[in-house]
């Protein structure tokens, strides 16, 4: 039975049914009973594997095809009506042409299969920030993941109402999981997403990157708000006041880890606490008080498994101990628990590696083979998170004091610096560069420009996106958050990370918050304001002030090279490059003379 009377939804759904020709249509109301039936069915077909229900209650395992383990940027399209609206950083195709091509591929694709109709809400039900989507899919894995990642079910239709046409249409079919026929396509002007031939996270959980970033960034531009690839965290001081920071790092560069950090002992003792609001996406609006307010549109964490352990991120690990779906990690066959590289030093002997082969874990890892795929992930409910902010469900979100950019840079970027103004901050975001990771298919470890960590996620012309940032700054005026840049990934000559990172990153956040409150000094460098080395608290660490000084060093030769790279990058944007950013680049070059 239909869960809504909304004619716009029903009309679109009729079209999708006529196109894909499923044997059955099932509306997902989100009830426990329905979800349990789907879990049982997926277990019986082998799509999902039941894990040890005593150690990992409610947890399931899923393995994707080896050719389908990450986002596919070269097969991701922004099909705006005009090519120039997609800009030089997106793949573009004429919408008509793409619709025709996809039509042929979707025609009858669900024959003999069930179509699941998933209503979902991005953001808390009832929040003015929130937006509704409907995803139709032939994958139970998608239904079970969307249940964790979004507010899924009948309530989403209540949020939409019976008349509204403001919902994002998402059509997904795993089809034959054929990489040659894999397409992740967005029609921003039509509020529509089409995904085919994949069954992997970011390609198929259409509420996440496709809606909450690519479509939402376009909507934000139209409607005067921002959709960003950012974590949101709160730092509570001993007086109980909480200040919020958002941070944009590229995929697999530390957002989940920073969002859930555990304060170093010296801060814990004094009563500092860190609260997680979000680990991947922030939607931000100017509130009635003129400040910038952020919500996390998601309801769970789709986090990188490798490297997560009791030391690096105990909160994330705790979050995954129940009701979690693990994708492409390794299984310990003896007790049906999960394992990944960096969990501990004891790979299971009777391991099932991520592709499904039974291997001796110890020997296997010794060969340099990975038991878990480097982009293996957990899908875990936010409510499990021990440090979840009490503002997580707040309809108004949280006020943002600081915006932090960052990436993986072995040499150039210092540990932290502050922009001189919002405009300079937008420049700092626009010149972000980072070594690529396993989160997308393609080479790993190659430095590429990734402005605001949005290169794969901006649903329109990046030049217009920067203009939108500048306009938001004008509207915010002196209430604008301060903008910073961090780099946890500087390496020494042997390639080891110099900065301890993880929980100790709070030491850097403390300087950032002190700057926001006018309580810390800074020194001016060619690239912006930096802390005095003594102002980064190193109590309890076995590194010296001199190391901090090294980490803060701005190597002018490297930065002159960097400026050349920025020039080259900027030329792509032609006359869409805001003049303000051109001016900032000229200032940087002058400062480096
Ligand atoms: P997406 O979910 O892909 O958007 O990624 P993310 O930004 O949330 O990345 P995540 O926090 O999962 O970090 C991914 C990798 O970065 C893991 O291998 C971590 O161990 C590593 N990492 C995170 N924080 C730090 C840090 O402070 N220092 C170092 N050296 N590594 C870190
Ligand atoms: C990322 O790649 O930035 C992710 C994972 O957060 S995915 O949802 O697959 O995009
Ligand atoms: Mn991400």
Bridge partners (DSSP) of residue 360 are 350
533: nearest Cα among 515, 519, 545: 545
Confirm if 463 and 577 have CB atoms less than 8 A apart.
yes
Q: Which residue matches tokens 């921003």?
A: 188
pTM: 0.98
* Residue 410 belongs to a domain: yes
Q: Write the Ramachandran bin of 164: left for phi over 0, alpha for psi from -120 to 50, otherwise beta.
A: beta
The enclosing domain of 184 has a CATH number of 3.40.449.10
* Residue 585 belongs to a domain: yes
Q: Which atom of ligand 1 is nearest to the CA of 342?
A: 20
Instruction: Tell me, using a 6 A CB cutoff, whether residue 251 lines ligand 2.
Output: yes
The enclosing domain of 363 has a CATH number of 2.170.8.10
For the purposes of burial, counting CB atoms within 10 Å of the CB of 390, is it exposed (0-12), middle (13-18) or buried (19 or more)?
exposed
Q: What is the pLDDT of residue 370?
A: 94
Q: Which atom of ligand 1 is nearest to the CA of 280?
A: 4
Q: What is the pLDDT of residue 1?
A: 77
Instruction: Tell me, using a 6 A CB cutoff, whether residue 201 lines ligand 2.
Output: yes
To test ligand 2's pocket by mutation, which of 208, 297, 303 has the most ligand atoms within 8 angstroms of CB?
208
The CA 229 to ligand 3 mean position distance, Å, reads 6
Nearest C-alpha to atom 7 of ligand 2 is from which residue? 202
* Residue 63 belongs to a domain: no
Instruction: Tell me, using a 6 A CB cutoff, whether residue 535 lines ligand 2.
Output: no
Which of 224, 248, 282 is where one domain is finished? 224
* Residue 56 belongs to a domain: no
Same domain, 308 and 272: no
Confirm if 228 and 474 have CB atoms less than 8 A apart.
no
Closest ligand to Cα 228: 3
Nearest C-alpha to atom 8 of ligand 2 is from which residue? 202
The CA 158 to ligand 3 mean position distance, Å, reads 29
* Residue 55 belongs to a domain: no
Same domain, 434 and 574: yes
Q: Which residues in the chain come in under a pLDDT of 70? A: none
Instruction: Tell me, using a 6 A CB cutoff, whether residue 497 lines ligand 1.
Output: yes
The CA 257 to ligand 1 mean position distance, Å, reads 6
253 catalytic, yes or no? Answer: yes
CA torsion 179-181-187-191 (nearest 10°) is -80
Same domain, 204 and 115: yes
Q: Which atom of ligand 1 is nearest to the CA of 437?
A: 3
| Residues less than 5 Å from ion ligand 3, measured at CB | 251, 280
To test ligand 1's pocket by mutation, which of 278, 307, 438, 444 has the most ligand atoms within 8 angstroms of CB?
307
For the purposes of burial, counting CB atoms within 10 Å of the CB of 478, is it exposed (0-12), middle (13-18) or buried (19 or more)?
exposed
3-state SS, residue 96: helix
For the purposes of burial, counting CB atoms within 10 Å of the CB of 494, is it exposed (0-12), middle (13-18) or buried (19 or more)?
exposed
432: nearest Cα among 259, 279, 230: 230
To test ligand 2's pocket by mutation, which of 68, 76, 202 has the most ligand atoms within 8 angstroms of CB?
202
Same domain, 406 and 494: yes
Q: What is the pLDDT of residue 284?
A: 98
Calculate the CA 88 to chain-centre distance: 22
Same domain, 255 and 350: no
The CA 446 to ligand 2 mean position distance, Å, reads 18
Q: What is the pLDDT of residue 364?
A: 87
3-state SS, residue 417: strand
Same domain, 37 and 142: yes
373: nearest Cα among 316, 303, 306, 440: 306
Same domain, 425 and 494: yes
What residues make up the domain containing 309?
301-381
Same domain, 406 and 369: no
Q: What is the pLDDT of residue 296?
A: 98
* Residue 1 belongs to a domain: no
Confirm if 231 and 247 have CB atoms less than 8 A apart.
yes
Query: How many Å apart are CA 368 and CA 38, to the nearest integer?
Result: 37
Confirm if 485 and 419 have CB atoms less than 8 A apart.
yes
Instruction: Tell me, using a 6 A CB cutoff, whether residue 208 lines ligand 2.
Output: yes
Same domain, 366 and 480: no
The CA 202 to ligand 2 mean position distance, Å, reads 5
Dihedral sign for Cα 43, 49, 52, 53, please.
negative
- How large is the C-alpha radius of gyration of the chain? 23
Instruction: Tell me, using a 6 A CB cutoff, whether residue 456 lines ligand 2.
Output: no
Same domain, 264 and 305: no
How many helices (H) and strands (E) are present in the chain, helices listed first?
Answer: 18, 30
The CA 458 to ligand 2 mean position distance, Å, reads 14
Straight-line distance from the first to the last Cα atom of the chain, in angstroms, rounded to the nearest whole number: 70
Same domain, 243 and 323: no
Query: How many Å apart are CA 443 and CA 163, to the nearest integer?
Result: 47
* Residue 482 belongs to a domain: yes
To test ligand 2's pocket by mutation, which of 252, 376, 434, 454 has the most ligand atoms within 8 angstroms of CB?
252
| CB burial readout 254-275, b (16+ within 10 A) else e | bbbbbbbbbbbeebeeeebbbb
Dihedral sign for Cα 183, 46, 346, 343, please.
positive
Q: What is the pLDDT of residue 343?
A: 97
Dihedral sign for Cα 498, 503, 505, 511, please.
negative
Query: How many Å apart are CA 417 and CA 261, to the nearest integer?
Result: 21
Phi and psi at 525, nearest 5°, equal: -125, 175
The enclosing domain of 516 has a CATH number of 3.90.228.20
Confirm if 255 and 279 have CB atoms less than 8 A apart.
yes
Which of 381, 400, 421 is where one domain is finished? 381
The CA 463 to ligand 2 mean position distance, Å, reads 23
Dihedral sign for Cα 404, 405, 408, 414, please.
negative
150: nearest Cα among 107, 174, 186, 121: 121
Confirm if 261 and 316 have CB atoms less than 8 A apart.
no
The CA 512 to ligand 1 mean position distance, Å, reads 20
Nearest C-alpha to atom 9 of ligand 2 is from which residue? 202
Same domain, 161 and 250: no
Instruction: Tell me, using a 6 A CB cutoff, whether residue 182 lines ligand 2.
Output: no
Nearest C-alpha to atom 21 of ligand 1 is from which residue? 254
213: nearest Cα among 294, 125, 280, 301: 280
* Catalytic hit among 121, 253, 458, 516: 253
Number of domains in the chain: 3
Q: What is the DSSP string of 471-511?
A: HHHHHHGGGSPEEEEE-S--B-TTS-BSS--GGGGHHHHHH
Instruction: Tell me, using a 6 A CB cutoff, whether residue 280 lines ligand 1.
Output: yes
Which of 381, 400, 419 is where one domain is finished? 381
Instruction: Tell me, using a 6 A CB cutoff, whether residue 439 lines ligand 1.
Output: yes
* Residue 61 belongs to a domain: no
């Amino acid at each position: 039975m239909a869960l809504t009377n909304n004619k716009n939804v029903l009309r679109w759904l009729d079209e999708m049914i006529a196109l894909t020709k499923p044997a059955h249509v099932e509306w997902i109301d989100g009830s426990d009973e329905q979800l349990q039936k789907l879990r049982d069915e997926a277990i019986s077909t082998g799509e999902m594997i039941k894990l040890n229900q005593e150690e990992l209650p409610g947890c399931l395992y899923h393995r994707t095809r080896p050719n389908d383990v990450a986002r596919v940027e070269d097969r991701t399209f922004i099909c705006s009506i005009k090519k120039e609206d997609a800009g030089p950083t997106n793949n573009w195709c004429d919408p008509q042409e793409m619709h025709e091509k996809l039509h042929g591929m979707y025609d009858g694709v669900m024959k003999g299969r069930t179509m699941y109709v998933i209503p979902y809400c991005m953001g808390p039900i009832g929040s003015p920030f929130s937006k509704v989507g409907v995803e139709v899919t032939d994958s139970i894995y998608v239904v079970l993941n969307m249940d964790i990642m979004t507010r899924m079910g009948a309530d989403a239709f209540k949020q939409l109402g019976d008349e509204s046409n403001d919902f994002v249409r998402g059509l997904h079919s795993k089809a034959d999981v054929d990489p040659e026929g894999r397409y992740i396509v967005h029609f921003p002007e039509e509020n529509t997403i089409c995904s085919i031939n994949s069954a992997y996270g970011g390609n198929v959980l259409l509420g996440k990157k496709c809606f909450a970033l690519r479509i939402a960034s376009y909507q934000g531009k139209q409607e005067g708000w921002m959709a960003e690839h950012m974590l949101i965290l709160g730092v509570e001081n001993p007086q109980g006041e909480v200040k919020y920071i958002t941070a944009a790092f590229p995929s697999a560069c530390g957002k989940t880890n920073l969002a859930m950090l555990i304060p170093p002992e010296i801060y814990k003792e004094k009563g500092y606490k860190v609260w997680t609001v979000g680990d991947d996406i922030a939607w931000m609006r100017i509130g009635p008080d003129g400040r910038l307010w952020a919500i996390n549109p998601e309801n769970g964490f789709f986090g990188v498994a490798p490297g997560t352990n009791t030391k690096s991120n105990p909160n994330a690990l705790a979050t995954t101990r129940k009701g979690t779906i693990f994708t492409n990690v390794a299984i310990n066959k003896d007790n049906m628990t999960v394992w990944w590289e960096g969990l501990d030093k004891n790979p299971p002997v009777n391991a099932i590696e991520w592709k499904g082969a039974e291997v001796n874990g110890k020997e296997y890892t010794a060969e340099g083979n990975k038991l878990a795929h480097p982009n293996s992930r957990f899908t875990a409910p936010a409510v499990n998170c021990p440090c979840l902010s009490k503002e997580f469900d707040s309809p108004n979100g949280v006020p943002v004091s600081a915006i932090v950019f960052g990436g993986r840079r072995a040499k150039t970027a210092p540990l932290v610096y502050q922009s001189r103004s919002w405009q300079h901050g937008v420049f700092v975001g626009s010149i972000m560069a980072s070594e690529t990771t396993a989160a997308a298919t393609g080479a790993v470890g190659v430095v590429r420009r990734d402005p605001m960590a949005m290169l794969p996620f901006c649903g329109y012309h990046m030049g217009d996106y920067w203009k939108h940032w500048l306009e938001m700054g004008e509207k915010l005026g002196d209430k604008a958050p301060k903008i910073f840049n961090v780099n946890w990934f500087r390496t020494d000559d042997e390639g080891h990370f110099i900065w301890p990172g993880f929980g100790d990153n709070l030491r850097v956040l403390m300087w950032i918050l002190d700057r926001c409150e006018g309580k810390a000094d800074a020194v001016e460098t060619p690239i912006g304001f930096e802390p005095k080395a003594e102002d980064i608290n190193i109590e309890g660490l076995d590194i010296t002030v001199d190391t901090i000084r090294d980490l803060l060093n701005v190597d002018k030769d490297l930065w002159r090279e960097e400026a050349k790279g920025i020039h080259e990058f900027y030329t792509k944007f032609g006359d869409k490059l805001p003049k303000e950013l051109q001016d900032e680049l000229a200032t940087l070059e002058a400062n480096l003379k």
